[in-house]
Amino acid sequence: MQMIIAEKSTAAETIAKNIGETKIKTEQKGPVKIWFTNINGTPSVVIPLKGHIKDVKYPDEFKKWEERTLIDMVDAKLEYHPTAQENIDIIKDYTKKVDKAIIATDYDTEGESIGFEAISVIRGLKKGMPIFRSVFSSLTSKELSESFSNLQKPNKSIADSADARREIDLILGAVLTRFISLAAERLGNSFLSVGRVQTPTLTVIVKREAERRAFKPEKYWNFSAELKSKNKKFTAEYEKDKIFEKDAADEVRKVKGSKKATVISIVKKIRDVMPPKPFNTTDFLRSAAATGFSVPNAMRIVQGLYMKGYVSYPRTDSETYPPTLDLKEILNELGKSSSYDKYVQKIKMAPLHPTKGKEAKDHPPIHPVKLPNDKLTPQEAKIFDLIARRFMATLYDSSKEENVTVKLDIRGKVFVSHGTRSIVDGWREVYTYAKYEENILPELKENEAASVTSIKEAEEETAPPSRYSQGGILKVMEDLRLGTKATRPEMLKKLMDRRYISSSRTLIPNEVAFAVIANLEKISKELTGPELTANLEEEMKLIEEGKKSKEEVVNESRVIISDLLRKLMEKKSQIKELMHKALLQQYIFGTCPSSGGKLKMVISRRTHKRFVGCADYPKCHFGMPLPQSGYMTISPQTCPKCGIHMIEWKGKESRRVYIFCVNPKCKKKDTEKTKKTPIKAKAEAVSVQNGAKTKAEE
């Protein structure tokens, strides 16, 4: 009998169903379900883990957060403790009954580390039992069969690489998080976290916001002409889109009232637009974010689709399909769907020449492998559709577009009109997630006259650099080598969960984030910059390749962390003062419209209800309601209508964070969604029903 170790329950079930040769039997052992079948003619038990079954932690002597223990923590010996005892007990039980084990966790550094946690349990009972590794990129019957017919040896170097990362992140994170939190006197659930990847990522976001705050807008004018030719309206912009000098603007104003424009020149360009490259992890997450998903949610959904055997492994750097991938087989599978059949038939009419990008040796690009045979949630269905259409688009022909630039003379001033139209849809026909808008101009000729309907003038101000979106920051993290394809979405989620940044599509840091980064930057550019993290990732690669040991890399990192801690401790008093100022600022909603004082969150001493009150109380009784249930923080975002900071609210049972204004006079309640969900409606109802309490509750 052989024992197969899968990473999670869904994957274990998929393995048993897809390559089981006999009728599957199941058994429930407490909270863990296991599967029995024959695989490759051998009776097999498929046992799931819960991801990691052991966690690295400090000894109990460091449980209490105290400044005197920080130096000792840098060099303390770490321990690996069981976190899923039920799964471990089942592995121990079947180790006594089987003569072979196969690790079938995800094939990446994290999966190899999880696999070796199971191996350590097995070796504790049977040191000499043969243990093999199944390597696959999707949970299809074909790939699993090939994988189980060509078993490999588990790779300890890959597992050590992941464990080195875990240990370094724990040491750096625990030591520096405790120092900052102790200095700021923010302990318990309100602690302030610092991390090897999250801190330089937060630095990037904070610096962009600092640029926005320092930005001084400059006034300018622009002019546009509404024109008509052959009964078709079109628009032309003045050739200088921004006019900063008043005298120059006055010159353009002289053409107002003109009735005629003369075509000076027409330039037409036909261009072929290549189909998109196959999805790697970062491009997939950016595309999912562009369609409305948060990055962490998109990662969670695609991981679930992979575990069910519907898409390939979602953590990959590759943008080139390997020669071994049967593209026709995938097309035939997609062709069974009425939603995709017409595109599949068109693709199959010509030889397959997929687009290519960078090639990595880990896993193929993300692609569909099987049509779902059970009902998907709307979000799952949309993610699968995104992946399926992207795959088909990479096999399509180029699209062909015509770009037209028309210059017109209006009383000596040149106005320009830009037109675009699709000649051949090509890949855009199937990949409907790529935005493309036509702007078809009337057929014009040089020296031809067009009617001027009106000339409009707008007075504008230059805009600050835009904030990062969730998808945008992922690309920056990749470029700066911050984290890995597997950890980046989790790092972004951690920054949101810690309330350093808003939980919206555009990332806005709060005052605490500014204070944390300001303190750390004064002490160590290494910690806030990308170099330390990127260099450590290179060290992890050396471990993977067997050129360095885990112990060597971890001990070198301890020296770096010790130096960082020493520098921070030397400036503890300055850090404490700066943090306290920032912490006070995070409870301010804005300026009171009645007295001009500061609006702050107040919790009633008598009823313990929360509301917004004026700092000038009792002179000023202005107040606003707050939800009395769920979790709430003041958002870095301000309401575009009233200018007061909005709140980020989450129900106790909800995963989603809702951002809305609490000002009853302001109807701009929801900047994230126009359609109210039941939870959102409840949040607004609660905030209105509770009302603002002032003198009575004080």
Model confidence, pTM: 0.80
Residue 680 predicted with pLDDT over 80: no
Residue 523 predicted with pLDDT over 90: no
Separation CA 519–CA 511 (nearest Å) = 12
Mean of the per-residue pLDDT values for the chain?
A: 89
Q: What are phi and psi of 683, to 5 degrees?
A: -60, -45
Provide the CATH number for the domain formed by 219-274+399-461 in this structure. Answer: 2.70.20.10
Residue 691 predicted with pLDDT over 80: no
Helix or strand or coil: residue 313? coil
pLDDT higher at 642 or 416: 416
Query: Where are the alpha helices (H) located in 366-459, listed in sequence order?
Result: 378-393
Nearest alpha carbon to residue 489 among 224, 293, 687: 293
Q: Which pLDDT tens digit goes with each residue over 332-348?
A: 999 999 999 999 999 99
Residue 684 predicted with pLDDT over 60: no
Q: Which pLDDT tens digit goes with each residue over 440-496?
A: 999 999 999 999 999 999 999 999 999 999 999 999 999 998 988 888 998 999 998
Domain 2-49+84-154: which CATH number of 3.40.50.800, 3.10.310.70, 3.40.50.9100, 3.40.50.140: 3.40.50.140
Q: What are phi and psi of 495, to 5 degrees?
A: -65, -35
Question: Mean per-residue pLDDT for 180-204?
Answer: 87
Torsion sign over Cα 616, 621, 624, 627: positive
- Which of the four pLDDT bands, split at 50, 70 and 90, describes residue 190? confident
Q: Which pLDDT tens digit goes with each residue over 148-164?
A: 999 999 999 999 999 99
Separation CA 89–CA 514 (nearest Å) = 47
Q: What's residue 660's pLDDT?
A: 87
Q: What's residue 678's pLDDT?
A: 37
Amino acid making up residue 361: K
506's tokens: 């555009």
**With DSSP H G I counted as helix, E B as strand and the rest as coil, what are the percentages for the chain, rounded to 5?**
40, 20, 40
* CATH 1.10.760.10, domain 281-393, yes or no: no
Q: Which residues pair with 175 in a beta bridge?
A: none
Q: What's residue 667's pLDDT?
A: 63
- Which of the four pLDDT bands, split at 50, 70 and 90, describes residue 652? confident
Residue 698 predicted with pLDDT over 50: no
The domains of the chain are located at 2-49+84-154, 162-213+469-583, 219-274+399-461, 281-393, 587-690
Separation CA 280–CA 485 (nearest Å) = 9
Separation CA 617–CA 625 (nearest Å) = 16
**Residues carrying an active site annotation:** 313
Q: Which pLDDT tens digit goes with each residue over 246-274?
A: 999 999 999 999 999 999 999 999 999 99
Sheet of strand 131-133: strand arrangement: 25-29, 32-39, 42-48, 2-6, 100-104, 131-133
pLDDT higher at 686 or 640: 640
What is the distance, to the nearest Å, from the Cα of residue 509 to the centroid of all Cα atoms in its chain? 16
Separation CA 588–CA 601 (nearest Å) = 7
Residue 305 predicted with pLDDT over 50: yes
Residue 497 predicted with pLDDT over 90: no
Q: What's residue 644's pLDDT?
A: 87
Amino acid making up residue 146: E
230: exposed, middle or buried (C-beta count within 10 Å: 0-12, 13-18, 19+)? exposed
Q: What's residue 369's pLDDT?
A: 93
Residue 430 predicted with pLDDT over 70: yes
Q: Which pLDDT tens digit goes with each residue over 524-564?
A: 788 899 988 888 889 999 999 999 999 999 999 999 999 98
Question: Mean per-residue pLDDT for 623-652?
Answer: 83
Q: What DSSP element (H or E) covers 460?
A: strand 449-461
Q: What's residue 373's pLDDT?
A: 85
Separation CA 557–CA 532 (nearest Å) = 10
- Which of the four pLDDT bands, split at 50, 70 and 90, describes residue 655? low
- List C-alpha distances in Å: 668 to 171, 590, 591: 44, 16, 18
Q: What's residue 617's pLDDT?
A: 87
Helix or strand or coil: residue 652? coil
Separation CA 243–CA 545 (nearest Å) = 58
- Which of the four pLDDT bands, split at 50, 70 and 90, describes residue 512? confident
Provide the CATH number for the domain formed by 162-213+469-583 in this structure. Answer: 1.10.460.10
pLDDT higher at 586 or 304: 304
Question: Mean per-residue pLDDT for 290-300?
Answer: 92
Please give the full DSSP string across 585-612, using - where no structure is assigned. Answer: HTTEEEE-TTTS-EEEEEE-TTT--EEE
DSSP class of residue 190?
G
Q: What's residue 697's pLDDT?
A: 27
217: exposed, middle or buried (C-beta count within 10 Å: 0-12, 13-18, 19+)? exposed
Q: Which residue has the tokens 């193929």?
A: 364
Q: What's residue 484's pLDDT?
A: 85
Least confident window among 309-323, 414-428, 584-598, 678-692:
678-692
